[in-house]
Structure 1
Amino acid sequence: MNLDQLLPALFPAGHRIERNDDVLTGTATTAAGEVTVIGTANKLEVGVDHALALSACVLASTRSHPTRPIVMLVDTAGQRLARRDELLGINGCFAHLARSLELARRRGAALVSLVYGESVSGGFLSFGLMADRIFALPEAQVRVMDLRAMARVTKQPLEKLQALSLSSPVFAPGVDNYVRMGAVEAVWQGDLAAALAAALSEPQRLDLRRERGLERGGRLLAHDVARAVAAGEA
């Protein structure tokens, strides 16, 4: 689903979302009330300028409406791999964006992400993955790292990682695998406006991704290891 189809489906009551250099910022009306909207479009490779624009919108929302929910629409091919962005400290700008979202959360804003296109690497980690609850459309593509890049980083043969991806969702891309791991809570189909309103109306909860991953058979150790660490047993 492209952005021109998505926005009226999510916000039939209207929105005031601007698109500048494929960065989305603005507000929208939902059945659960007004929300701040940030996001990316056209498989944007997120760079320094994009990260600062997104964080500025988050901070403005937190300043004026501390408890207003923030909806993040994700379509990114990852972080921008450019010399200029590296020299300007893209890692620090991504950290600033993540801290801005954490501040919003601590001030009482619910954070909800919807992956409607691609969600890859640092472009996803810096804002979409920061949400309390993450949802996706069926046609979305979710992967933290391409297997070819993972092979270069881990020094493991690509063929070995491809074989592992057949049995372990941790190594495999795709929405279904991230649902199994608990990172994506659910896939939305049908009435998207109703699905968003329901997600926003539910009270904020503790992070249940480890529990979901265990229940769905996608992450079998994270829950017990985290519990042991918290209890001082590890």
Structure 2
Amino acid sequence: MKNSFVELHARERALSLLDANTAREIVGPLDDMISPHLEPQDIVPESDDGIVLMRGKIEGNQVLVVSIEGKFQGGGIGEVSGAKIVAALEKVLEENKNGNTIYPIIVLDTGGVRLQEANYGLLSISEIQNVVIALKKFVPVIGLVPGRVGSFGGMSITASILSYLIATNKARIALNGPEVIEQEAGVREFDSSDKDLIWDTLGTKQRQATDLVDEVVDDSVDSIKESIINEIKTKKDAHRTENVDFYLSLLDKLDLSKKLDIDSYNKLFKSVVATKHTIPAAVAGEKAGTKSRGRLWFEKLTGIKNATSPVSTVLHAQKDGKEFIAIVPDADNKFPRVREGEVGLQEGFAVASIVNQIVAEDKDKDVKRPIVLVVDVPSQAYGYQEELIGIHVALGSSAAAYAKARQAGHPVIDFIPGDAVSGGFLAHGLQSNRMIALDDDSITIQAMSKASAARITQRTITELEEATKHVPAMAYDIDNYEKLGALYKLVKGIGSWEATDENVDKIKELINQAIDSLDGDTSLHFRYQTEIAKASGRKSTLQVRKLVDEEWSK
């Protein structure tokens, strides 16, 4: 197609948007900043790791274009690629804080986490989301989803957080790809061979009809550039992750006795009138809830026996001046895809409601209430109706709420006695500025189940497990996760189910120490500053950050 934007590569896309003779690339191919994690897996790396950072101007306005190359590793985000995006956006934030207006534009052609660097990808995506939230206080953060890959996985959560989202009719947006849903929930849940159903559900026509995309334009450089220019002038913000009451009201009206289809959902969407939702604190109940490590530790840390809540899978309560929040399983939940503790629609929006209320209540207080996340989330929910409604927005709402709370001065502390997997961890855990985990072999931290990861990367499970021996970021266990340098403390000698009075007191003391260690820090930079991070865990991240800093103002 003549003048097609979709058919261009990442670098060509960035150049096509910028005014003539204004483009300057930062940390480009000649810097040879490749991922160190691919060659050990016999994967040929790229000299720019699939990310193009281009400073320049659009109609005289200073911009940074971040362009993701969908043809390299499916546009997946790993350590180097993620670090390039984060470091560049942080420079844009710094410039805007100093009164030098620069507009960030992110071209999303991405499957989300690069599974060959899974845990680096999750960390990086959470860090991208954090700086996007900070930037939105100064300028709109503009997203563009042209097509080819679309915007999936953790980067669909990022897309939900952006100020304004432009797409072509060749793009799709979803948290979980159809193949992953089919793998996790079965072909009856979502048939990945039904291309019409995929496009009708995840394509931008439907996404625009339900406000998950702001504008759908023709696939031409001119049309896309015109829309970007208009957004720079008007500075619109969809506030997509702030529509919590609307979505909780929608879920109240959802008839779960019937299979949801597109027409019925669109009618429901148009009929909803948002009403104020407040999620009450958990109270003691007569009957024990579905057993889980997260529920056990929430009850022990708060002193609430058989904790119960109107949202059965979301528990929160104040104790010792702290707010504890947990997402827990409910074997009888009306949403079948969250019965084992997964983070779904109601969980994401309910947590966002709770955290937003905490921030509002403490707005004028000099000392902000610490928020302690009890993390035991086996994944996000895998379901057709979840994707149709927009589970990526639910998880984005939760992640954004935690990021805003931390940036407002609330200490946000993770305690991880259970699993921390994929979008569930992005929504409930990875916006914390300190992470405490139990050293228990039963804990899984990763971006995707082994079966789904093997299917997507076209490996056998045996081959996948062999690769994890050489790349800690691909491993599923907490000891390898510690090697990335992100943990504040890995607690030895306490098992996931060993919530004795003595052990609970030890964890409470560690939480207090973590809060004290912040000393006013509201960033996520601690992850780069631990001894493990500096020595090996985030060595490439630190090299990228140094290069971006050196090249930014040349």
For Structure 1 versus Structure 2, the TM-score category normalised by the shorter chain is 0.7 to 0.9
Which TM-score applies when normalising by structure 2?
0.38
For residue 208 of structure 1, what is the aligned residue in structure 2? Answer: 526
Cα separation, 1, equivalents of 2:427 and 2:302: 24
SS of residue matched to 2:474? coil
Q: Is the 8 A contact 1:175 1:184 kept in 2?
A: no
Structure 2: unaligned runs, 5 residues or longer: 1-291, 330-339, 495-502
Equivalent-residue separation in structure 2 for 1:106 and 1:218 (angstroms): 25
Secondary structure at the aligned position of 2:439 is classed as coil
Normalized against structure 1, the TM-score is what? 0.85
CA deviation after TM superposition for structure 1 residue 146, in Å: 2.7
Deviations 1:126-171 (A, max 9, x none): 1211111111112233222233322323334544432221122111
* Rounded Cα–Cα distance in structure 2 between residues aligned with 1:47 and 1:215: 35
Q: CA deviation at 1:217?
A: 3.0
Give distance in 2, aligned partners of 1:154 and 1:226: 29
Please say which of residues 58-67 and 188-197 is displaced more in the overlay.
188-197
Moved over 6 A (4+): none
Kept in 1, the 8 Å contact 2:409–2:520? The answer is: no
1:42-74, CA deviations, whole angstroms, 9 ceiling, x for partnerless residues? 451111111111111101100002421111111
Shift, 1:5, TM fit = 4.8
Structure 1 residues 205-214 or 44-53, which shifts more?
A: 205-214
Report deviation, 1:208: 2.4
Q: Distance in 2 between matches of 1:87 and 1:8?
A: 34
Question: 1:15-94 counterparts in 2 under 5 A?
Answer: 18-19=308-309, 20-29=311-320, 34-42=321-329, 43-66=340-363, 67-94=368-395
2:421 touches 2:448 (CA, 8 Å); kept in 1? yes
Stretch moving more, 210-219 or 180-189? 210-219
3-state DSSP of counterpart to 1:72: strand
Residue by residue, what CA displacement relative to the aligned partner does 1:90-137 show, whole Å, maximum 9, x if unpaired?
A: 101111111111211121111101111111111111121111111111
Higher strand share: 1
Q: CA RMSD in A?
A: 2.6
Q: Aligned partners of 2:319 and 2:549: how far apart in 1?
A: 39
Distance 2:380 2:401 in 1: 18
Q: What is aligned with 1:193?
A: 508
Q: Distance in 2 between matches of 1:107 and 1:219?
A: 26
Aligned pair count reads 228
The answer as to 2:421 corresponding to 1:120 is: yes
Q: Percent identity?
A: 24
Structure 1 residues 225, 156: CA separation in 2 closer, same or farther (over 3 Å shift)?
farther
Query: Distance between the aligned counterparts of 1:88 and 1:105, measured in 2?
Result: 28
1:107 maps to: 408
AA in 2 matched with 1:210: Y
Distance of 1:120 and 1:141 partners within structure 2: 7
CA distance in 1 between counterparts of 2:386 and 2:296 reads 32
Give the structure 1 partner of residue 432 of structure 2. 131
Would the alpha carbon gap of residues 80 and 185 (structure 1) be closer, same or farther in structure 2, given more than 3 Å must change? Answer: same
**Conserved 8 A contact 2:413-2:433:** yes
Q: Distance in 1 between matches of 2:463 and 2:538?
A: 20
